Structure 1
Amino acid sequence: MNGFSFIGSSRVIAILIPIIAVYLYKVLGHRRELVLFIGVNIGSGFLNLGLKTLFRRARPTIHQIVQETGFSFPSGHSMAAFTLYGVTAFLLWRHTSHAINRMILIIISIGMIIAIGGSRIYLGVHYPSDVLGGYLASGFWLAVAIWLFQRFGQQKQQIK
């Protein structure tokens, strides 16, 4: 569980974002997708800070396996995982035509999101509602961003 929590940490996310961004730009050559990817991840971080400041919920104090500081709600690890793996799955889905590859992509993404959120509960640093709240906040943010991305993309194509 410490491993999954580490994978969802801001240090690892800060390494993964540039790697995926370079892949999107250099390998796939998509600038608009790069803007979505970076914007969604940065926005998720600001949304998490805002919600933590708004709710100011204390962390659990019993059965902690690791120590964490800061407010509990919503889980930053859960929000970051949902945003990173969610937007990555969306963008790769658009470039994957085989059903089996799409299924593998979804299974890996969902598995990572659940494992990272579950690790935070297991380690005793979040309540289940913190993780669920993180998923819901990131899910909403990601849905709005994807909707805007697709709407803007359709308008741009109609202009051409």
Structure 2
Amino acid sequence: MKLKTYLIIAFSLSVVSIIGFSLISLLISDQKIIQFDRTIINSVQGMETPLLTYVMKFFTYIGSAPFVIVLSLFLLFFLYKVLHHRLELILFVAAIVGSAILNGILKNFFQRVRPEFHRLIEIEGYSFPSGHAMNAFTVYVIISFLLWRHITSGLGRWTLIIVSMVMILAIGISRIYLGVHYPSDIIGGYFASGFWLTTAIFFFQYYQEKRYNKKQQREKNIS
């Protein structure tokens, strides 16, 4: 796939993400999404069982900052030592750190209070957008992006995509189930992370292509 195609896709997804996030934030500000949130919360929390609560607590832990930090350190080692990535490490770190910073800025800007309907765990801080949703989306999408070209089989690639999607959705749903986020917090988190990731990947691909072209030009001049 040519650079132009990559950049068009990344730019398009970035625009879709920022529009989606803007719409969600406007609906929240105008109190026009409350019924949607309550309906989804009632449906998700209506499935409550002791076993499912344990499973949801497990997924919410996977999306927590401490787990993401440990997972990121392991992946940095894997990318560097096993796959011999160099520049990709910069993209990975920028994606993770940038997502966390963006989440903090957005939460303090919107200052949405967490739901009080039926909490199964206690947590402080603002609600929108969900930090767990942004963590999950950022980590598993960037992993898929970096590992995709190293997987040659169609089955392997589909497995990577499906596992990533399941993890992203499960972590998001766990926050609704446990009563600490509105569904719109989760959706907003996905959109915010999507915007940040596609923007980072856009500039990464652009830089990679320019770097490759300069290298080719130097080799051509030498020969």
Q: CA deviation at 1:145?
A: 0.7
Q: 1:38 corresponds to which letter in structure 2?
A: V
Q: Where does residue 130 of structure 1 map in the other structure?
A: 185
Q: Where does residue 42 of structure 2 map in the other structure?
A: none
SS of the residue corresponding to residue 58 of structure 1 reads coil
1:28-86, Cα deviation, whole Å (9 max, x unpaired): 11111111001100000000000001000000011111111000000000000000011
What does 1:52-67 align with in structure 2 at a 5 Å threshold? 52-67=107-122
Q: CA deviation at 1:94?
A: 1.9
Q: Distance in 2 between matches of 1:32 and 1:95?
A: 16
Q: Where does residue 65 of structure 2 map in the other structure?
A: 10
1:83-123, Cα deviation, whole Å (9 max, x unpaired): 00110010000211111100000000000000000000010
Q: Which runs of 5+ in 2 are unaligned?
A: 1-55, 216-223
Q: Where does residue 20 of structure 2 map in the other structure?
A: none
TM-score (structure 2 length as normaliser): 0.71
Identity rate of aligned residues, in percent?
51
Instruction: Please tell me the root mean square deviation across aligned C-alpha atoms, in Å.
Output: 0.5
Q: Distance in 2 between matches of 1:103 and 1:82?
A: 17
Q: Distance in 2 between matches of 1:93 and 1:31?
A: 16
User: Does 1:32 find its partner at 2:32?
Assistant: no
Larger Rg: 2
TM-score (structure 1 length as normaliser): 0.99
Q: Where does residue 150 of structure 1 map in the other structure?
A: 205
Q: Distance in 2 between matches of 1:146 and 1:117?
A: 23
